[in-house]
Structure 1
Amino acid sequence: MGIPPMVGMQIAGSISAFRRRYPGVQLKISEFGSLTVQQAVLSGGLDIALRALPIDAELPLNTLELMRHPLCVLPPRSARWLNRTSLTLAELAQHPLLILNEEFSLNRQLMKAFQRQGVMPDIAQRSAQWDFLAAMVQADMGLAILPEPICQRLDKQALLWLPLESEL
């Protein structure tokens, strides 16, 4: 089973329950970005994978939505951001952005959303590690865009998160 790193923390309890219920079933977990685990299923390297939707409708894959989470903007906890209640893609394009790298489907979805809005984002850093992106926000390198469950795990004293106003 392929899982992206950010999904692992959300399904750890389910994996544990599965192993207790089916102790004779060997569950091999491969942790890679969404596009990598998708390709592994297509090539036969994995039987199943979890990844963010949507996927290309032309791919010979069956999908089932298991969960849905909003995206959040992660700015530093400073006076500039404390009175904000949300941010738009157009507003984000005016700031250096810290986003997940091209291995993640969220990267592709964000780039398409910026394109649909007719704005060009200023990508300051891409990374496969959400905690590195959060550290870069704390170092005042830019704003990160992450799923809400990830943001909830971060230090609320140093960072805050605001909803992203987008169709994503």
Structure 2
Amino acid sequence: MELRQLKYFLEVAKHKSITKAAESLHISQPALSKMIMGLEEELGMTLIIRTNKTSEITDAGMVVMEYAQKMAVLVDEMSTTLNDMTNLTRGKINIGLPPFIGSLFFPQVLAKFHQKYPNIEMNITEYGGARVVKSVEEGEIELGVAVQPIDDQEFNVFPIVEEEMKLLVNSEHRFASRDNVCINELINEEFIFYSEEFALHDIMRNLFISEGFEPKILFKSSQWDFMSEMVAANLGITILPEPICNRVFHNELRIIGLKPAVLWKLAVITKKNRYLSNAARMFVEFILNERKITHYN
């Protein structure tokens, strides 16, 4: 069994298509099919069920895929470790950022980091906060930015931002003239809510449940600008971090405080007991020195 076979199998599993995987790998479809068949013969099991349109992964294929992903992470770590030992001036960082966060704080931080370390390549993947945590845990990305609380038994947690959550309502809403609203007063409101992939979905939902009610969710979205536009159209209310609310410029919207205050805490996370490249360590150190980003507009 060769690492290349496993790499090619992972690509087929990713695309669920030998044709698309062959295009991605820049090899011929017959060559890829032959390599997969060779892997199946060696293992004595069918890994892929081939149809005219798709290539479905069997139960045995799922097991192989799980171990192949772990091996790919180890190979990447080995390469990174060897590169670090040679003190190369180049490097690469795989970063996971939730869309809410990326657009607020990180353009300026990334620009400054690139200016200081121009030879370090940064691959940024936008995931919801929950998936960022999972991806760091599984080794898909080296470090991520996520909403706390984070399990500090599994992750190294470096706090960087702390802001308040604010209520966003239409100017005709009954709360529009209020400075603050108690959370339990929202029991009968209809919410424009976050998609399940975002950590805020579970955090805010659990907060409401602790106050004695299940939120009435009218729509879910992963885009804060779309959420605020729906509130402006008087379709419901929403709760967003204050820095996002401050970016909303609409005459039909009002920003209101919550009682008790609800904090939005962000942290850079890395997996404990996993090798972290020099480039990633430099980035963590850099961003901790730039914690003043919480005051950026």
Tell me, what secondary structure is at the counterpart of 1:102? coil
1:77 to 147, 171, 190: 171
Report the Cα distance in structure 2 between the residues aligned to 1:54 and 1:61, rounded to whole angstroms. 11
1:1-168 superposed matches below 5 A:
1-8=95-102, 9-57=104-152, 60-78=154-172, 80-166=174-260, 168=262
Cα offset, 1:119, TM superposition? 1.4
Instruction: State the Cα distance separating 1:80 from its structure 2 match.
Output: 2.9
Quick one: distance in 1 between partners of 2:238 and 2:132? 24
Identity over the aligned pairs, expressed in percent?
29
Counterpart amino acid of residue 43 in structure 1: E
The corresponding residue for 2:40 is none
- Deviation string for 1:48-69 (max 9, x for gaps)? 00011112455x1111110101
1:161 aligned counterpart, secondary structure:
strand
CA distance in 2, matches of 1:117, 1:20: 47
Query: Which SS does the other structure have where 1:75 is aligned?
Result: strand
1:113–1:103: structure 2 CA closer, same or farther, 3 Å change rule? same
TM-fit CA distance, 1:78: 2.4
What's the CA shift for 1:88? 2.1
Q: Show structure 1 runs of 5+ residues with no match.
A: none
Question: In the aligned structure 2, how far is the partner of 1:89 from the partner of 1:120?
Answer: 12
Superimposed CA distance per residue, residues 61-101 of structure 1 (whole angstroms, 9 cap, x where no aligned partner): 11111010100110012263332011222111211011111
Q: Is the 8 A contact 1:2 1:37 kept in 2?
A: yes
Mapped to 2, the partners of 1:83 and 1:158 lie a distance apart of 13
Instruction: Classify the secondary structure of the residue corresponding to 2:155.
Output: coil
Aligned-residue CA RMSD (Å):
1.4
**Match for 2:207: what amino acid?**
A
- Indicate the SS of the match to 2:156: coil
Q: Which moved more, 1:153-162 or 1:80-89?
A: 80-89
Structure number with the bigger relative contact order (C-alpha 8 A, sep ≥ 6) is 1
2:126 aligned partner, one-letter code: E
Which of the pair is proportionally richer in helix? 2
CA contact (8 A) 1:96 1:124 kept: yes
SS at match of 2:157: coil
Q: Which has the higher strand share?
A: 2
Aligned residues: 167
Query: CA contact under 8 A between 1:98 and 1:124: conserved in structure 2?
Result: yes
Could you list the per-position Cα deviations for residues 23-50 of structure 1 after superposition, in whole angstroms to 9, with x for gaps in the alignment?
A: 0100111111101111110110000000
* Separation (CA, whole Å) in 2 of partners of 1:148 and 1:160: 12
Runs of 4+ aligned structure 1 residues displaced above 6 Å come to none
Task: Say whether the 8 Å CA contact 1:99–1:146 is kept in structure 2.
Answer: no
Select between 157-166 and 34-43 the one with higher mean Cα deviation.
157-166
CA drift of 1:147 comes to: 0.5
